[in-house]
Amino acid sequence: MHKKANAKIGPGDFCQKIMNDNFVFCIFCETSQENKVETLLRKLGYKVISALVERNAVKNGKLVKELRSVIPGYVFFENNTEPDWIEICKSKYIYYPLHYPDNQKKLKDNDLNFIKWLNGNNGKINISKAMKIGNKIRFIDGPLMELEKYIVKINKGQKCAGIKLQGEKINNIIWLSYELAAAPHPAANHPRG
């Protein structure tokens, strides 16, 4: 298990992708109503930024992959001007826009860098690959390998790891899934002669 609870995800940690020079905003909404809020934002003409994580789940006794909200209750979107907050906040599912102490609502610094990184991954965080080495988990591919220094907890039973985001306002733990890769057969390293 990795412990870096005080590590901050900084500007150099995520790839920078220009998002058409638009401003990025975040709305807090009722959990599990993110799709309805996204539909409303699209209807009002805003570009929604997908924020999904691929997770393994057991459904009817079978392991299936499903997409879930990266941070339940958060919806991200971009626009080239300040949005019409009065119109947006009329929805019964929307609580309020994220804002900073200076009352600015445009995402900035580490919050913005995380969303740029997510957008650079097409709005979806895929399942990582890992190997079990003794009683340790080693990530060999995917976002958990890239973000390994920010892991604060590993749940081996659920095959997921918690990443601590420490942005200015977005400072949640997000849970990312992994799959164990098959270990190479010992005979593969010793060719028969």
Contact 25, 115 (CB under 8 A): no
Residues 138-142 have a mean pLDDT of 94
- Residue 188 counted as domain residue: no
pLDDT above 70: percentage of residues in the chain: 84
Contact 174, 78 (CB under 8 A): no
Domain total of the chain: 1
Residues 44-53 have a mean pLDDT of 94
What domain range is 179 assigned to?
A: 11-183
- Residue 111 counted as domain residue: yes
pLDDT confidence band for 48 (50 / 70 / 90): very high
SS (H, E, C) the chain: CCCCCCCCCCHHHCCCCCCCCCEEEEEEECCCCHHHHHHHHHHCCCEEECCEEEEEEEECCEEEEEEEECCCCEEEEEECCCCCHHHHCCCCCEEEECCCCCCCCCCCHHHHHHHHHHHHCCCEECCEEEEEECCEEEEEECHHHHCHHHEEEEECCCCEEEEECCCCCCCCEEEEEEEECCCCCHHHHCCCC
Amino acid at 52: L
Closest by CA to 173, choosing from 7, 36, 31, is: 7
- Residue 179 counted as domain residue: yes
- Residue 35 counted as domain residue: yes
- Residue 159 counted as domain residue: yes
What per-residue confidence (pLDDT) applies to 21?
A: 72
- Residue 191 counted as domain residue: no
Tokens (6 digits) for 185? 């057969």
For 72-97, how does the pLDDT look when each residue is reduced to its tens digit (9 = 90+)? Answer: 999 999 999 999 999 999 999 999 99
Phi-psi region of 122 (alpha: psi -120 to 50; beta: other; left: phi over 0): left
pTM: 0.79
Strand duo 47-49 + 124-125: pairing: unpaired
Kindly report the average pLDDT of the chain as a whole number.
85
Residues 100-129 have a mean pLDDT of 92
- Residue 1 counted as domain residue: no
Give yes or no for residue 130 having a pLDDT over 90.
yes
Q: What is the CATH number of the domain that holds 152?
A: 3.30.70.940
What per-residue confidence (pLDDT) applies to 186?
A: 54
Q: Report the distance separating Cα 173 and Cα 164, nearest Å.
A: 4
Q: Report the distance separating Cα 108 and Cα 137, nearest Å.
A: 34
pLDDT confidence band for 192 (50 / 70 / 90): very low
What per-residue confidence (pLDDT) applies to 167?
A: 87
Give yes or no for residue 166 having a pLDDT over 90.
no
Give yes or no for residue 110 having a pLDDT over 50.
yes
- Residue 115 counted as domain residue: yes
Q: Name the phi and psi angles at 168, rounded to 5.
A: -70, -40
